[in-house]
Amino acid sequence: MKRVVLVDAGGTNIGSVRYALQRLGTDAELTADAARIRSASHVILPGVGAAAPGMRRLRDAGLIDVLRQLSQPVLGVCLGMQLLCDYSDEGDTECLGVIPATVHRFEDRPGLRVPHMGWNHIRRDSAHALTEGLGDDDTAYFVHSYAVPVGAYTLASTEHGGLFSAVIAADNFMGMQFHPERSAGVGARLLRNFLSL
């Protein structure tokens, strides 16, 4: 039986992610309880804000090792995706370390708006069940100042002053830098793909 949980780590997008899942027929439980997270079929780590406070909330809730040891499908959204990586330059923060990547801030340079905010094309870079059905003309909604570079873990990328990862995965851990709950049909398709894993 499918039981989806949203990790309650204080992210301000939790309500909108939960509503997006409800539109797909899935009622996700919001919890910080380690046992309920471990027993879920699918785990979603949402997040908006900065890396250091995000990791501090997870640490205070006793969830760092719990999340690292999960074997079911895990999806990080926005900041949640960045927290899956090894390290973030934002606040000199050690993250969960389940995806081998370092999160960097966009360069400050003329003509490059930071934060990166708005709709942007995403390109599927490698085949994966999470990005099934993603087309080259598809767009998603982004709001962020830090990004994950393109690497072996990149499933889809986008460009803002250079290429960066829009969707990543390593083993059972996956992430979306954009907000699927605000990305219309594309976001719904990728969330549905995640729920089918």
d(C-alpha 122, C-alpha 166), whole Å: 7
Question: Which pLDDT value is given to residue 137?
Answer: 87
pLDDT at residue 188 is higher than 90: yes
Angle at 21 between CA 17 and CA 22, to 5 degrees: 115
pLDDT at residue 13 is higher than 70: no
For the segment 63-73, the average pLDDT, to the nearest whole number, is 98
For the segment 18-40, the average pLDDT, to the nearest whole number, is 93
Phi–psi pair at 69, nearest 5 degrees: -95, 0
Q: What is the pLDDT of residues 120-139, one digit of tens each?
A: 999 999 999 999 999 888 99
pTM: 0.95
d(C-alpha 51, C-alpha 42), whole Å: 23
Which residues carry out catalysis?
78, 179, 181
Q: What is the pLDDT of residues 33-55, one digit of tens each?
A: 999 999 999 999 998 789 999 99
Confidence of residue 12 (pLDDT cuts 50, 70, 90): low
Question: Which pLDDT value is given to residue 49?
Answer: 83
- Rg of the Cα trace of the chain? 15
- Domains, the chain, ranges and CATH? 4-195 (3.40.50.880)
